[in-house]
Structure 1
């Protein structure tokens, strides 16, 4: 059966172009395609118990980190996800990661995901990088961006609100963490 609406974003919008480099409004952060040289920083990030708790994943080896970098490039080519390393503009040192997941081109909807290295937390890295990612995604044509986090993750809630992602509601008992089921806040930005 054919759809009665056209896709909000045409297929090929990502796959036919190189992944862009984004900049924070203040110019202090750059969001760039992950490189194999980032594997050590990615591996180190997943040694942080705070990060692994909220992201419910672990990374045991540098080879896994290299696989993560390769998967990021595959996600772009297949238009399933888009991942950026957040780095300092002055020294290109990795500070974190921003991503669009669950990209639905038909409806123009995607989910935002991110993490920040421990040494970069509290410096406004996540909201500034999220603002740059949001601007790019809306420029591409996405209509709605969702951001979900555990109701127990107060820092992520502050990032979402600081970046204009309004709290839309709570998904009860919808994410399994190592300590059991968590309720999840759903924040949203609409391209309007």
Structure 2
């Protein structure tokens, strides 16, 4: 049965194009993941807050290298788009910014992110997600959404400051190490409030 609408985002951008680098314009660069990032990622996932909200720890460098290979491979598979967030001046890894669950026909995706513990409070997440949001809307995405535990108030403040409106609470929707959490659902529509900068970081 033929669809009556065209894809809002061209699959060829992923299947035939290389993953771009995205500069925030204020010192950060979103770039494709490299296996050489494994040591830094391993150290990030030793952090209790990262483990709490991302429900994952790293058992070994080999395991992290496998993660990175899978993160990198999602681009051409049109499954997700994962970037390492780096400090341009030092080249240091400072975070992750991703689009998950890509749905190209309707131009929808889910935003995910984390910030390295050493740079919390430096607005890494807002700056990276603002740049990623602009890029996604520029290539045709219509709706971006993100979710987080209702207990993760810093993430809630970041989402709101970036124009991701709180749409509601999904009851008992996220399984964490301490049990089921209610999850806030935020979303932003193309052409809506511009992504801002600054504010609390996570």
Q: Give the TM-score taking structure 2 as reference length.
A: 0.92
Counterpart of 1:97?
96
Q: Distance in 1 between matches of 2:25 and 2:143?
A: 21
Deviations 1:23-63 (A, max 9, x none): 1132x111111111111111111111110111112211101
Task: Tell me if 1:140 matches 2:139.
Answer: yes
Alignment of 1:17-166 (within 5 A): 17-26=17-26, 28-166=27-165
What RMSD over aligned residues (CA atoms) do the two structures have, in Å? 0.9
- Matched with 1:2 is 2
Deviation at 1:86, TM superposition (A): 0.6
Q: Distance in 1 between matches of 2:11 and 2:81?
A: 14
Partner of 2:180: 181
In structure 2, the residue corresponding to 1:102 is in which secondary structure?
strand
CA distance in 1, matches of 2:102, 2:30: 19
CA distance in structure 2 between the aligned counterparts of 1:167 and 1:23, rounded to whole angstroms: 27
The CA deviation at 1:88 is 0.5
| Distance of 1:69 and 1:29 partners within structure 2 | 20
3-state DSSP of counterpart to 1:14: helix
Q: Shift of residue 10 of structure 1?
A: 2.0
User: TM (normalized to structure 1)?
Assistant: 0.96
Q: List gaps (5 residues or longer) in structure 1.
A: none
Deviation at 1:92, TM superposition (A): 1.0
For 1:97 and 1:68, the matched residues in 2 are separated by: 13
For residues 101 and 17 of structure 2, the distance between their equivalents in structure 1, rounded to whole angstroms, comes to 19
Unaligned residue ranges in structure 2 (runs of 5+):
192-202
In 2, Cα distance between the equivalents of 1:21 and 1:11? 18
